[in-house]
Amino acid sequence: MSEAGETVRIVGISGSLRRVSFSTALLKVLAERAAPAIDLEVVTLEDIPFYNEDLDIDPAIPAVAALKRKVTESDGVLISTPEYNHGIPGVLKNTLDWLSRPVFESCFKGKPVSIISSSKAFTGGVRAQYQLRETLISMHAHLVMGPEVVVGGVYRHFSDEIYTDEAGLLFMLKSLERLRETVVGRRVMVV
């Protein structure tokens, strides 16, 4: 079986609601420049309501059910998040709370996941990335190992909505390829 051309479906989740979000823009750049064997669908979280266990019933809230279905049907997930006050944005944590249900059987259980964090500061969101990893571990996600992808001074890397840091983009694409390799490797192990 040839692994080189085997296509994987990745859901790219942006942790920012901002209309001109850097997190969303990074995912869109990666979707455009990804290898042909990577189908990256970018999703945003505008329609996800605040988590309330009273509302976590059947039938599910349509936006939540749709996102759970996308994650379940995907081969892997790429989360792109900004860092707010040394942590992940509330909208992302809120969404993960929805997606973590049912406990120990969420759509993230065993799902290969990679992370990109960004910040206007030079640190690139390393504290948000740590916090996000802790949450994903509690959800039993399969975190893809490798160098952490952090984009410091993210605003300096865009000009007219075009990402200008070619070396940084190549680094992110290598991380995306590691995610793909993890997915394909897991398929081979199942066969």
Question: Residue 181 is part of a domain; what is its CATH number?
Answer: 3.40.50.360
Residue 87 located in a structural domain? yes
Amino acid 189: pLDDT: 73
Where would I find the H helices in the chain?
22-33, 62-73, 90-99, 126-138, 166-190
Using alpha carbons, list the distances in angstroms from residue 159 to 25, 61, 132, 183: 12, 38, 28, 33
Residue 2 located in a structural domain? no
Residue 48 located in a structural domain? yes
pLDDT digits (tens, 9 = 90+) for 24-67: 999 999 999 999 999 999 999 999 999 999 999 999 999 999 99
Residue 3 located in a structural domain? no
Question: CA-to-CA distance for 165 and 169, rounded, in angstroms?
Answer: 6
Which pTM was predicted?
0.95
**Dihedral sign from CA coordinates of 34, 139, 71, 181:** positive
Residue 28 located in a structural domain? yes
Residue 58 located in a structural domain? yes
Amino acid code (one letter) for 91: V
pLDDT digits (tens, 9 = 90+) for 112-162: 999 999 999 999 999 999 999 999 999 999 999 999 999 999 999 999 889
Q: Which domain holds residue 106?
A: 8-190
Residue 25 located in a structural domain? yes
Cis preceding-peptide flag for 59 (omega within 30 of 0): yes
Q: How many structural domains are present in the chain?
A: 1
Residue 128 located in a structural domain? yes
Amino acid code (one letter) for 3: E
Q: State mean pLDDT over 70-91.
A: 97
The length of the chain in residues reads 191
pLDDT digits (tens, 9 = 90+) for 37-48: 999 999 999 999
